[in-house]
Amino acid sequence: MSGFSWHLRCFPNGVRHFGFAFVLTFCMWPLQGATLERLSFDDMVQKATAIVRGTVTASRAAPHGPIVYTHYTLQVTETFKGTPGSMLDMVVPGGVANNIRQSFAGTPSFRTGDDYVFFLWTGQSELTYILGLTQGLFALTPGTPGNPLAIRGASKEIMLEPGTGRQVKDQTVVMHLSDLRSLIASTLKGTQTH
């Protein structure tokens, strides 16, 4: 199922958006890529149910209704928001299960040992997703002890400005983990005073 096109907030307003996106997909089948609403850093911090630094330790694919998801097990090494515990199950749409292969544009894949900061959202289905697909994902550079670089690559998918619907170009974000940690903390502190 390549060429899957969808409009996602991944999934801050519930699975309803995903169901709509799934139907919309088949109407837009010839189009390649995903269409994403651009989320500001403040939006991501506020909408995330958990923000963690974690290392991928395992993966498996399983169907949930008509969609196959790849489940990644994360060893949580630092928690910035929420109380996820030391191990976490996170899902990404796509994978191979029961002889069915599904792939979705814009979804990241991971290898065992990958180290990231994840902005996560858990919905009523109790599945935990990356907020905004790759928007909520900062790769941590290996080999930089103490204060690695946190890199969020620019999305290759179509990105729309919220409210106006205008297409915008996404930007790569690079900062030290200590700066990302401080930015998350200051954003959380700012939301608590309102």
Is residue 151 a part of any domain in this protein? yes
Predicted confidence at residue 138, as pLDDT, reads 97
Predicted confidence at residue 41, as pLDDT, reads 93
pLDDT digits (tens, 9 = 90+) for 148-172: 999 998 888 777 887 888 888 888 9
Q: In the chain, how many domains are there?
A: 1
Is residue 1 a part of any domain in this protein? no
Which residues share a beta bridge with 96? 101
Is residue 2 a part of any domain in this protein? no
Higher pLDDT, 118 or 29: 118
Residue 45: other Cβ atoms inside 10 A: 23
In three-state form (DSSP H/G/I as H, E/B as E, the rest C), the secondary structure along 4-56 is CCCEECCCCCCHHHHHHHHHHHHHCCCCCCCEEECCCHHHHHHHCCEEEEEEE
Higher pLDDT, 102 or 15: 102
Average pLDDT over every residue of 82-101: 92
Residue ranges making up the domain that contains 171: 7-192
Q: Which two tokens stand for residue 83?
A: 């109380």
pTM: 0.78
Predicted confidence at residue 4, as pLDDT, reads 35
Token pair 């290996």 is at which residue? 142
Pairing of strands 173-176, 149-152: antiparallel
